[in-house]
Amino acid sequence: MSLEQFFQAIDANQDIYVQRLKEIVAIKSVSGEPEHRSDTILMGEWLLAELERLGATTKRVEPGVQKVNGRTLPLPPVVLATYGEDPAKKTVLIYGHYDVQPALKEDGWNTDPFTLTEDAEGRLLGRGASDDKGPVLGWLCALEAHQQLGRDLPVNLKFCFEGMEESGSEGLDAIIVREAHDYFRGVDCVCISDNYWLGKTKPCLTYGLRGVSYFMMSIKGPAADLHSGVFGGTVHEPMTDLVHLMSRLVDPQGRILVPGIMDQVAPLTEEEQHTYEGLEFGLSDLRGALGANTEIHANVKDILMHRWRYPSLSLHGIEGAFYAPGSKTVIPANPIGKFSIRTVPNMEPAQITQLVKDYLHAEFAKLNSKNVLEVTCDHEGRPWASSPDHWNFVAGARAVEQVFQCKPDLTREGGSIPVTLTFQDALQKNVLLLPMGACDDGAHSINEKVDRRNFIEGIKLYGAYFHELARVKTNE
């Protein structure tokens, strides 16, 4: 088949797709806000109905309930669907999420966040436009266009859309593991469209993600907060111990000071080096994103390697200390330092946690404090790195060439998308991250947008990907 006809259909229908995106952006599926839990469930139901309308068979899976501040809330459904079961075709599993980050006009949005608004530059502004309602809808539009053209879809589809991604994907992992050999049986590869291009003009395929190990370091001293006038100078102050320990985790050049951690980092190969050439990224992009010239590394390779393939340690803040504007002369009784390590292959979370704990306890012993240190790992997510040579990536790259007439950037991400690893581990299938949005979409931020171009060309990309998947040889 000629993709040209499909592309023309997408262009011809683009206002319908934008209107549909507007319809679902208006559903306030903010999973993190209990008062919008019913909206979130509604959004799941919208998808179930839409999938049914498109001829898919659906399965609504209830992950159970969640306790929030003493309230018991139902978790939004995981929407599973199957479209096509032809054993002669490959089956691709599409993952996306239909919940969104919180958004209030008062946060600084220029437009109402739940009213999709197109500006003069063709930016479609609205919460979830890019993360992740645009992509989720995009897959369905690509399917619908095939039907409207009377064209057979060259692959079988499975869908997995969740409604708790912005709130820790509660309940999802268990469902994926459970369905791996049941509902997801026969899946040949997985595609996730929930990340971003490296730049603003050139698509990318993403083959790696850093993991994250998040730590809490509690120092317990007095039974309650103290007045520094009365107790200052007479008591081991937990804050003093805490900042001493925090200062020993990482230096101002970003070097991790916990011994043993860097030893676990996979060595850089010649081949990997080459993937850092010709990317749509420059120092000015980093500076633009920072709004400052406070980069550690001057050249693009170093910057991206430190974002993608080296670990980093960030100090996020302190719970239990004074944090408000103004002055307060408190001695906090039990401050808890928060920090996390972004992990990369071949770091093993359990080992990292042990190294961190051992080091902090050894450093704490040197402080000669009578306070009590407790270090816990709040959660650990392993890094992920796939092979960009796999046929799933080959199909993705060819689809990009079909739609954008260029080779995609091969990228990793510095952050985590934990479900990627869950799918790979549970299904033992290759996972491709095939983003729709651009680097400046502002997911999680105010004025989130997806460019009309990205949305429409993204739908074409998804359709082209179906065709390239069908064509690609699995031994290529």
DSSP state of 221: -
Query: Which among 39, 50, 99, 241 is annotated as catalytic?
Result: 99
Instruction: Report if residue 416 touches a copy of itself, rule: CB under 8 A.
Output: yes
Stretch that binds a copy of itself, among 17-25, 131-139, 156-164, 236-244 (CB under 8 A): 236-244
Closer residue to a copy of itself in complex, CB, 118/295: 295
Q: Is the peptide bond before 69 cis (omega within 30 degrees of 0)?
A: no
Is 85 considered catalytic here? no
Which residues, numbered 355-384, are part of the site for a copy of itself (CB under 8 A)?
A: 367-371, 378-379
Identity (one letter) of the amino acid at 89?
A: K
Pattern 299-328, binding to a copy of itself, x per CB under 8 A? Answer: ----x--xx--xxxxxxxxxxxxxxxx-xx
Question: For residue 160, what is the enclosing H or E element?
Answer: strand 156-162
Q: Is 194 annotated as a binding residue?
A: yes
CA 245 centroid distance within chain: 30
Q: Is 131 annotated as a binding residue?
A: yes
DSSP state of 166: G
CA distance 114 to 447: 11
Residue owning tokens 């692959």: 155
Which residues, numbered 46-85, are part of the site for a copy of itself (CB under 8 A)?
A: none
Identity (one letter) of the amino acid at 260?
A: G
CA distance 27 to 166: 15
Choosing from 247, 273, 299, 354, the residue that interacts with a copy of itself (CB under 8 A) is 247
Q: Is 444 annotated as a binding residue?
A: yes
Is 165 considered catalytic here? yes
Q: Is 60 annotated as a binding residue?
A: no
Q: Is the peptide bond before 132 cis (omega within 30 degrees of 0)?
A: yes
Choosing from 254, 348, 424, 425, the residue that interacts with a copy of itself (CB under 8 A) is 254
Closer residue to a copy of itself in complex, CB, 177/265: 265
Closest approach, Cβ 287 to a copy of itself, in A, equals 10
Instruction: Report if residue 331 touches a copy of itself, rule: CB under 8 A.
Output: yes
Half-sphere exposure of 123 (CA within 13 A, CB side): 16
Closer residue to a copy of itself in complex, CB, 70/252: 252
Choosing from 50, 241, 285, 441, the residue that interacts with a copy of itself (CB under 8 A) is 241
Closest approach, Cβ 421 to a copy of itself, in A, equals 14
Closer residue to a copy of itself in complex, CB, 335/463: 335
Instruction: Report if residue 265 touches a copy of itself, rule: CB under 8 A.
Output: no
The Cα-based distances of 132 to 63, 291, 437, 442, 443 in angstroms read 20, 26, 9, 12, 9
With 0-12 CB in 10 A as exposed, 13-18 as middle and 19+ as buried, what is 374? Answer: middle
Instruction: Report if residue 104 touches a copy of itself, rule: CB under 8 A.
Output: no
DSSP state of 196: B
The Cα-based distances of 118 to 1, 380, 450 in angstroms read 33, 39, 10
Q: Is 236 annotated as a binding residue?
A: no
Closest approach, Cβ 447 to a copy of itself, in A, equals 12
Closest approach, Cβ 230 to a copy of itself, in A, equals 5
Which residues, numbered 200-229, are part of the site for a copy of itself (CB under 8 A)?
A: 210, 212, 214, 216, 221-224, 226-229
Closest approach, Cβ 312 to a copy of itself, in A, equals 3
Query: Which among 39, 50, 132, 165 is annotated as catalytic?
Result: 165
Stretch that binds a copy of itself, among 67-75, 111-119, 284-292, 403-411 (CB under 8 A): 284-292
Closer residue to a copy of itself in complex, CB, 308/465: 308
CA distance 180 to 355: 34
Question: For residue 363, what is the enclosing H or E element?
Answer: helix 349-367
Q: Is 91 annotated as a binding residue?
A: no
Residue owning tokens 């990482």: 250
Closer residue to a copy of itself in complex, CB, 235/470: 235
Stretch that binds a copy of itself, among 63-71, 87-95, 273-281, 336-344 (CB under 8 A): 336-344
CA distance 160 to 137: 13
* Tokens of residue 381, six digits: 């997510």
CB 452 within 8 A of CB 14: yes
* Tokens of residue 354, six digits: 């042990």
DSSP state of 414: S
Instruction: Report if residue 150 touches a copy of itself, rule: CB under 8 A.
Output: no
Closer residue to a copy of itself in complex, CB, 337/458: 337
CA distance 71 to 110: 34
Closer residue to a copy of itself in complex, CB, 319/401: 319
Q: Is 227 annotated as a binding residue?
A: yes
**Residues in Cβ contact with 243 at an 8 Å cutoff, skipping those fewer than 6 apart:** none
Closest approach, Cβ 259 to a copy of itself, in A, equals 18
* Tokens of residue 47, six digits: 């998808």
> Nearest to residue 179, comparing CAs of 158, 200, 194?
158
Size of the site for a copy of itself (CB under 8 A): 83
Stretch that binds a copy of itself, among 153-161, 183-191, 248-256, 398-406 (CB under 8 A): 248-256
Cα of first residue to Cα of last residue in the chain, in angstroms, is 22
CA distance 84 to 37: 32
Q: Which residues are annotated as a binding site for substrate?
A: 194, 227, 329, 342, 416, 444
| Active-site amino acid positions | 99, 165
Q: Which residues are annotated as a binding site for Mn(2+)?
A: 97, 131, 166, 194, 444
Q: Which residues are annotated as a binding site?
A: 97, 131, 166, 194, 227, 329, 342, 416, 444
